[in-house]
Amino acid sequence: MPEMTDERVRAHLTHEEDLSLLHEVSMKTAGVSRLEMCIQCGSCGGSCPSEMDMDHTPRTLFAMLRAGMRDEVLQSNTPWVCVSCYHCVVRCPQNVHITDVMYTLKAMAIREKKYRDAAAPDFAETFVKMVEKYGRSYEFGLASRHYLKHAPLRMVSMAAMGLGMLKKGRISMKPRTIKGMEQLTAILNKAKEMELAA
């Protein structure tokens, strides 16, 4: 049985160490994640602007990975609350690519349908589809679809802000396609091929 440190007790880690999930996540993460190098120092959570909204700090999440707690990790809101600011990566003494690991965990949660709340995965999927179609985010369409599906009553309170942004030209009601869309499509298709081959 692993030593029951305070961090393990707080995370309810009573499982025997099972590194198969840690290795799986590490292998699925783009580049070299260095996930196995985590020394549980807590620099990631201490530098995270979103840590207060996370159900588990990145350090705890990585301990859960090491314990093989697949369902608990993939149902965690931590990857979805991550704002990709890279503060944790910059401050990690072991150069663990924490933000990249969070992207991997999101993809795994979507693939295995293990998330607790569909709002964030739906938002991510809509965003990706818009980038694939237009080469960029289409903010008006993205926000409209998200709020209609997940918080229709909140749209009323957002209307004034949306109208103000439209008036000032900050958002457009029509999507705009980027120049060179064919090249982006080719890049995205190649990335999908490479992902399937991995």
Backbone angles phi, psi at 4, to 5 degrees: -90, 80
- Pick left, alpha or beta for residue 74 (phi over 0 → left; psi -120 to 50 → alpha; otherwise beta): alpha
Indicate the domain borders of the chain: 6-112, 119-197
Best CATH choice for the domain 6-112 from the list 1.10.1060.10, 3.30.1280.10, 3.20.20.190, 3.40.50.300 = 1.10.1060.10
Tokens of 79: 């990857």
Its sign, for the CA torsion 85, 77, 69, 103, is: negative
Q: Are 64 and 105 in contact (CB under 8 A)?
A: no
Give pTM, 2 decimals.
0.74
pLDDT in tens, the chain (198 residues): 444 455 554 555 555 577 899 999 999 998 899 999 999 999 999 999 999 999 999 999 999 999 999 999 999 999 999 999 999 999 999 999 999 999 999 999 999 999 888 898 999 899 999 999 999 999 999 989 999 999 899 888 888 998 999 999 999 999 999 999 999 999 999 988 887 876
CA distance 22 to 145: 35
- DSSP sequence for 81-143: H-----HHHHH-TT---HHHHHHHHHHHHHHHT--S-SHHHHHHHHHHHHHHHHSS--HHHHH
Its sign, for the CA torsion 110, 116, 122, 128, is: negative
